[in-house]
Amino acid sequence: MTDNPHKIRLLVVDDIVETRNNLINLLYFERDIEVVDSATRGQEGIDKAKKLNPDIVLMDINMPDMNGIQATEIIMKQVPGVAVIMMSVQGEQDYLRQAMRAGAREFLVKPFSGDELVSSIRHVYQDEQSKRRFAPQTQYQPGTPATPNGAEASQGEIISIFSPKGGIGRTTIVTNLAVAVKQISKKRVALVDGSLFFGDVGIMMDIRNTKTISDLQGRIETLDTQLLQDVMLTHSSELKVLLAPSKPDQGELITADDLKKILKELKNNYDYIFVDTFSSLKEETQLTILDMSDLILTVMSLEMTAIKDIRLFLEVTEILEYPKDKIALVLNRADSKHGLRAENIEATIGHQIAANVSSGGPAVTLSINRGTPLVIDAPDNPFSKDINALAHKIVDGTIGKKEEAATGAKKNGKVKTKKSGGLFGLFARRK
């Protein structure tokens, strides 16, 4: 092997001798990849990663002394700059989720071809190099006021994304949209994973959860710009990200008051603050996000169940006295050939659809698994084009502002209910 500095230095960790040898043989003739060593156990892999500092660790998930997920978590903390590609004979979603939460960059299901292996290694390496190139080119320093000479900075805009129905593409849309707004506006943009129990923003953006909102626990009273910036991570697009807790039980410790103070501080430091949510109105933290939002992007699809849920949610927003233009309906998978007609839906729910987003096909799923927003990976994809169109509306301030008065008209004789105690008060009044 040569000492060419451009070679991708790889460490293979697998307890099966035959598998290790096969992997090494598959990569032997790749001129840009060098296997610097191999390990048979998780702890041995950690020790060699510390010693050799490879670019990538190819890690098996099932090993006798320490599984690959535990070993990856330790490597991510103790060996900065090393990326991990996880391997497993089991391709279940739970394994993928655990691997990504541990910090793995990609997940390969055995058996895989040599082309798949090489492609994965090169993609992870190139993405890591891209992030390093972006790092020193930030347009502003954390904590820098929005206006010079001590002038009062303008407040940023909080844009949350919500859907009463799960699995509708909410997180995929908001991660791509935040990046698109950053690219278009060139302004200060933050993304908050407000799904405190099972947040997926980090996985979808390939950001290791070395710091999360949980790091602010017990420090809210002293929260300031510097402290907030200390726990936010930087995506390669220069987007600033505040991740959800790494474990669900930690999410329970974040209170509505904590979240309110965090969002207020974000408004002082960013022009656009995007907040992902989850499909529930039960948690007070969720209501806090919606209450503080200047705009709620509400995602729906052309299915009866989704339309029913949207109609009920719109009724709730009326009771909570949200202005009608605070809610902007986003129709996801708008190119579906088997859904209902959009114009019929608008007439039924009495609210105009503000934006359409195409499904994007398999490219969307691939971008999610790679952790690269599709607006970066494939800007010409129909999904990316629709996301960019929506981003332009947000930057231009035209989203949700063109509702016809007729669609917002209330039925004669309808009693206006005062807001009291959020949704909990709402349910109490309905008893």
Q: Please list the residues that pair with 431 across neighbouring strands.
A: none
- Asked if residue 2 is part of any domain, the answer here is no
| Residues 261 and 305 occupy one common structural domain | yes
Rounded mean pLDDT of the chain?
Answer: 83
Alpha-carbon distance 35 to 19, whole Å? 14
Q: Structure tokens of 188?
A: 């200060």
pLDDT for 340: 63
Q: Is 69 within 8 Å of 62 (Cβ atoms)?
A: no
- Asked if residue 306 is part of any domain, the answer here is yes
Residue 163 amino acid letter: S
pLDDT higher for 431 or 156? 156
Cis before 111? omega within 30: yes
| Residues 186 and 106 occupy one common structural domain | no
| Residues 250 and 343 occupy one common structural domain | yes
Alpha-carbon distance 272 to 419, whole Å? 27
- Asked if residue 315 is part of any domain, the answer here is yes
Q: How confident is the model at residue 85 (pLDDT cuts 50, 70, 90)?
A: very high
Of the residues 135, 169, 203, which one is the last residue of a structural domain? 135
Distances (CA, A) of 3 to 21, 83, 84: 22, 20, 22
| Residues 38 and 114 occupy one common structural domain | yes
List the CATH number of the domain containing 119. Answer: 3.40.50.2300
pLDDT for 249: 84
Q: Which residues of 345-355 are buried (b: 16+ CB within 10 A; e: fewer)?
A: bbeebbbbbbb
pLDDT higher for 36 or 306? 36
Q: Is 242 within 8 Å of 235 (Cβ atoms)?
A: no
Return the number of other C-beta atoms located less than 10 Å from residue 393's C-beta.
17
Q: Which residue has the tokens 């669900």?
A: 248
Where in the sequence is the domain holding 103, given as residue range(s)?
8-135
| Residues 125 and 161 occupy one common structural domain | no
| Residues 21 and 127 occupy one common structural domain | yes
Q: CB within 8 A of 91, min separation 6: which ones?
A: 107, 109
List the CATH number of the domain containing 299. Answer: 3.40.50.300
Return the closest-CA partner of residue 84 out of 371, 373, 378, 377: 371
- Asked if residue 371 is part of any domain, the answer here is yes
Is residue 133 classed as helix, strand or coil in its secondary structure? helix
pLDDT for 339: 57
Distances (CA, A) of 81 to 67, 103, 371: 21, 12, 17
| Residues 183 and 331 occupy one common structural domain | yes
| Residues 120 and 187 occupy one common structural domain | no
Record the pTM: 0.62
For CA atoms 28, 31, 32, 37, the dihedral sign is positive
Q: Is 296 within 8 Å of 289 (Cβ atoms)?
A: no
pLDDT of residue 425 exceeding 80, the answer is: no
Of the residues 135, 167, 184, which one is the last residue of a structural domain? 135
pLDDT of residue 48 exceeding 90, the answer is: yes
- Specify the number of domains making up the chain: 2
pLDDT of residue 333 exceeding 90, the answer is: no
pLDDT (mean) for 37-52: 94
Q: Which residue has the tokens 């502003």?
A: 140
Longest dimension (CA), the chain: 82
| Residues 36 and 177 occupy one common structural domain | no
- Asked if residue 20 is part of any domain, the answer here is yes
Q: Is 239 within 8 Å of 210 (Cβ atoms)?
A: no
- Asked if residue 235 is part of any domain, the answer here is yes
- Asked if residue 150 is part of any domain, the answer here is no
Q: What is the pLDDT of residues 101-143, one digit of tens each?
A: 788 888 888 888 888 999 999 988 887 776 555 444 434 344 4
pLDDT (mean) for 271-298: 92
User: Rounded to the nearest 5°, which phi and psi values hold at 37?
Assistant: -175, 175
- Asked if residue 74 is part of any domain, the answer here is yes
Return the closest-CA partner of residue 162 out of 329, 371, 27: 329
| Residues 322 and 379 occupy one common structural domain | yes
For CA atoms 179, 181, 185, 191, the dihedral sign is negative
| Residues 252 and 365 occupy one common structural domain | yes
Q: What is the pLDDT of residues 217-269, one digit of tens each?
A: 878 888 888 889 889 999 999 999 999 998 888 888 889 999 999 999 999 99
Q: What is the pLDDT of residues 148-174, one digit of tens each?
A: 344 444 689 999 999 998 889 999 999
| Residues 253 and 294 occupy one common structural domain | yes
